[in-house]
Amino acid sequence: MGLTDELTAAGVRPGEPLAIALAPGRGLGLSWRGGSRAIGSADPVAVVAEIEALGPRWVWWSARETAAPLVAAGVRPRACWDLGSVGRLLHGLVRDDAGAVWAAAQGLPEPPTARGGMTLLDLAGEADDAVRADGHLSREWLRGSWTEDVREAATWAGLALETRSLQEAAVRDLPDRRAAVGTSPLPYLTALSESMAALLGVELERDGLPIDRAVLDTLLTTMIGPCPRSETEEASSRRARDSVVWAAFPGEPLDLRNPANVRDLLARVGIDVPDTRSWRLEPYADTSPAVAALLAWRKTERIATTYGWSWAERDIGDDDRLRGVWGASEGAGRMTASAGLHNLPAELRTAVRPRTGRVLVRADLGQIEPRVLAAVSGDAALAAAAREDDMYAPVAKALGSDRPTAKVAVLAAMYGQTSGPAGTALKDMDRTYPTAMTFLRAAEESGRRGHDLRTYGGRLLRLSSLRQALEEAGPDSTMAHSYGRFARNAVVQGAAAELFKAWAATVRAGLVGLDAGIVLCLHDELLVETAEAQAPRVAQVLESALGSTGSWWCAGSGVRLVSDTSVVTSWADAK
């Protein structure tokens, strides 16, 4: 009888939680409902690959720790429950290590981070057991002592399974705020998609974004000059870029990287501004060649300092893939990425292209935050507008305005902007969409007073730790206004992030069996690399995945989700 047959006979079932703890070079520990097992093996990843055929939902403390070696070896788990991600969702944790996640699930205070060697303070309450007398996990176990013995690895997996059980009960107890509740509560479904987003982040980090180095080298050379071979050449290139701006201003050259100097330069051409932010200078660009040169220099300087030759050397591998570190849920819940993956200038997107015979399929969610507002607020009138391809058109009609003003009104409502044209637009929003506006103002008031909030999908936004400071500052303080605006936007942005990750997880599942994979998640945009012949099928997967995700995420709201999908050879070609 093989291993999978033995596990099946022992009660391991497809789709059921199976906790895992990898002990590199020694084996692994497993734990499931009704059993556990320690498996000795010099290659535990190969054992996991065999068990994956059973189709379990893997349970691990952290995708970064457990899934990373699996993905590196070519194992792509079908499903998982990431304890760290669900801990962030449920408890608003900043840390997602096992010690903090366990403590939160058990209702214990957050423990200090276990790092470095043991100290006398660490020894207090320590024993050989994984769980200390005070209920916290052993600091020695947290440092990885369990990896020395596969029997202890099985114990560690058992603790992971226990934590998952507590987390599942907690997410199922959270309210389901959909208009039509399904068989599985929305917070539970959110926990599943947040877990898959953590796994997807590991895969994105491993796979990277395809870059055409020849195209990139040409772009960089044109914009910032040839790759410098020394500090002297780099300084010379920098002076050459600066000289273009100096030539546009009268008088002696000044340091363009010093805002005070830039104000002095602007004064020479008769422009007096309180600061030198680009948005403040843009209105002068059409009539002032000097300002136009300064703004062009800033774009080039950003590329030179952030996305220049050193960036390309550091973050683009020999296989022409751009790689960064991914986070699955920062702040209100958005995915994040380093190495410029989330801020790549439009001028460089031409270089994002796969090799010959492969293409990119790009899908961009349309007007996602306004549509999410309609769903999460339960505003029937706004939901009716969100059934249209362009929801700003019916909003404009309802407000009695043109489309640009309607867009300003909706965005101002979500971001708490009250000055200028937005103030008048908000009055019309109050009259036309009172339910949505009441929802947003309630969130803002919670933020101003330091009251915790939960997003539509159940993510805890911890604001209560600020309550005393907010009370001392007063309800009209800058601090209160700042956190009020944060909360007002976070209940929309956070929900939109949850929807996006649910969509991405569904797309990932739909790509199984195709020569295709997600290579970028950018807030409301997915980029999939695939063989050219399979591009139509991939585009269909992206669109059908959005429909199926929306059917349960927006259930009963009447909101329609839309996307713009295109097949391109370069990211810059996507419209």
Closest C-alpha to 198, from 549, 521, 527? 521
499: its two tokens:
């929807």
- pLDDT for 118 equals 54
Distance CA 20, CA 146 (A): 13
Three-state secondary-structure class, residue 450? coil
Average pLDDT over residues 330-359: 94
The β-bridge partners of 210 are 321
393-408 pLDDT, tens digit each = 999 999 999 999 899 8
- Residue 284: both structure tokens together: 């002068």
> What Rg, from alpha-carbon coordinates, does the chain have?
27
Which tokens sit at 376?
A: 């999460």
Would you state the torsion angle of the CA atoms of residues 122, 123, 127, 131, taken in this order, to the nearest 10 degrees?
-20
For 130, residues 6+ apart whose C-beta sits below 8 A from its C-beta are 137, 138, 141, 146, 152, 155, 156, 159
Rounded to whole angstroms, how far apart are CA atoms 227 and 216?
Answer: 12
Q: How confident is the model at residue 490 (pLDDT cuts 50, 70, 90)?
A: very high
- What SS3 class is residue 411? helix
Domains (range + CATH), the chain: 3-173 (3.30.420), 213-313 (1.20.1060), 325-367+498-573 (3.30.70.370), 369-496 (1.10.150.20)
| pLDDT higher than 60, residue 117 | no
Cβ-in-10-Å burial (0-12, 13-18, 19+) of 25 comes to exposed
Going by pLDDT thresholds of 50, 70 and 90, the confidence category of residue 182 is confident
Determine the Cα–Cα distance for residues 161 and 158; give it in Å rounded to an integer. Answer: 5
pTM of the complete model:
0.93
Q: For the chain, give the percent of residues with pLDDT over 70.
A: 96
Across the range 46-50, mean pLDDT stands at 96
Rounded (10°) angle between helices 368-377 and 478-510: 100
- Rounded to the nearest angstrom, the gap between the alpha carbon of residue 347 and the centroid of all alpha carbons in its chain is 23
Contact assessment for residue 249 and residue 269, using Cβ atoms and an 8 Å cutoff: yes
> Rounded to an integer, what distance in angstroms lies between the CA atom of residue 211 and that of residue 341?
12
d(CA 144, CA 153): 10
pLDDT tens across 258-287, in order?
999 999 999 999 999 999 999 899 999 999
| Percentage of the chain modeled with pLDDT above 90 | 87
244: tokens are 């273009």
pLDDT at 419 over 80: no
Nearest to 401 by CA among 376, 380, 431, 437: 431
Q: What is the pLDDT of residues 506-565, one digit of tens each?
A: 999 999 999 999 999 998 999 999 999 999 999 999 999 999 999 999 999 999 999 999
Per the CB < 8 A criterion, the answer to whether 353 and 360 are in contact is yes
Q: What is the mean pLDDT of the chain?
A: 93
Condensed to tens digits (0 to 9), the pLDDT of residues 129-145 reads: 999 999 999 999 999 99
Q: How far apart are CA 327 and CA 348, in angstroms?
A: 23
Whether 375 shows a pLDDT value over 90: the answer reads yes
d(CA 147, CA 47): 16
Quick one: pLDDT band at residue 332, thresholds 50, 70, 90? confident
pLDDT at 421 (0 to 100): 65
For residue 415, pLDDT over 70 is answered with yes
pLDDT tens for each residue of 65-75:
999 999 999 99
pLDDT score of 426 = 79
Contacts 24+ apart (CB under 8 A), 83-88: 83/59, 83/160, 83/163, 83/164, 83/167, 84/198, 85/191, 85/194, 85/195, 85/197, 85/198, 85/328, 85/329, 86/164, 86/167, 86/171, 86/191, 86/194, 86/195, 87/167, 88/194, 88/329, 88/459
pLDDT tens for each residue of 286-325 = 999 999 999 999 999 999 999 999 999 999 999 999 999 9
Q: Is the pLDDT of residue 93 over 60?
A: yes
Cβ atoms within 10 Å, residue 169: 10
